Amino acid sequence: MDLTLAASLAALALIDSTSFGTLLIPIWLLLAPGRVKAGRMLVYLGTIAVFYFAVGMAIVLGATTFIEDIGALMETRAAMWVQLVLGAGLLALSFRFDSKKRKEGGGRVARWRERALGIEEADAGGTDGGTRTRRGSALSLVGLAAGAATLEVATMLPYLAAIGMVTAAGLGAAGTTATMAGYCAVMILPALVLLGARLVARDAVEPLLVRINNWMTKNAASTTGWVIGIVGFLLARDAAVRLGLLDALINR
């Protein structure tokens, strides 16, 4: 794998690291009252990483099986026109998605926040300190992580772009597995850094976490709309270039 591909994948992983499930929910867990439990945060982030890795490998293996047929199909003019329409559709959808979700998103985000903090409060409220309480709380965190990751499957566009790059690079089974694992590790790295900072300097880090939380909660829908719009533009532009539409427009 060359440096250009590695840098592109790292950039996409860092974009993925700012999503609802990989950053906002971890911040909620870090802001929960009481002492931060590193093990519980690792359970949550580990579940997110494993989920993404499993989905990514399934897509890569499926794409690799049909790579030659897919490549030949994508070079046809019919496929290019489909790509152009799809890109334009995503670009248009980004505006509707943004305005609609801006109205509805607040309630949904609040419900997820209540769910995350409810798990922490249930764990903190256990007076017996028994294994059953801790096990149930850990399973709740796994469920929370799986639910958040499932919710994001439809909008994991940076991850899908990374999967496309890895598939096209032809890294082989071992190289692909290592690359996808590395991508998922980079994806949860910012949350791990915030966890370490919270453990070392709780009072100094808390204001930063509050600011990030407030900004992400307010702009979550808008950010998703921007991501969809950018991907739509890139798809449409690529198709237009390959169809020669831009050259025809310039030379008119």
| pLDDT, position 177 | 93
Helix 77-124, helix 131-152: angle, nearest 10: 160
Confidence of residue 120 (pLDDT cuts 50, 70, 90): low
Least trusted range by pLDDT, from 18-27, 38-47, 221-230: 221-230
Residue 111 binned pLDDT confidence (cut-offs 50, 70, 90): low
Cβ contacts of residue 197 below 8 Å, gap of 6+? 204, 205
Q: What residue spans define the domains of the chain?
A: 3-69+104-218
Segment 39-83, tens digit of pLDDT: 888 988 999 999 999 999 988 887 766 666 666 676 788 888 988
What is the sign of the dihedral through the CA atoms of 59, 64, 66 and 67?
A: positive
- CA-to-CA dists, residue 38 to 75, 87, 201, angstroms: 49, 42, 14
Q: Which residues of 137-156 are buried (b: 16+ CB within 10 A; e: fewer)?
A: bbebbbebbeebbeebeebb
Q: What is the mean pLDDT of residues 3-18?
A: 87
Taking only the tens place, the pLDDT of each residue in 181-203 is 999 999 999 999 999 999 988 88
For residue 47, give the nearest of 29, 24, 16, 21 by alpha carbon.
21
- State mean pLDDT over 228-236: 76
- Please give the Cα distance from 224 to 23 (Å, whole number): 14
Q: How many Cα atoms occupy the beta-carbon half-sphere of 89 within 13 Å?
A: 6
- Which stretch of 55-59, 167-171, 179-183, 207-211 has the lowest confidence by average pLDDT? 167-171
Side chain identity at residue 216, one-letter code: M
Q: What residue has token string 């790295």? A: 189
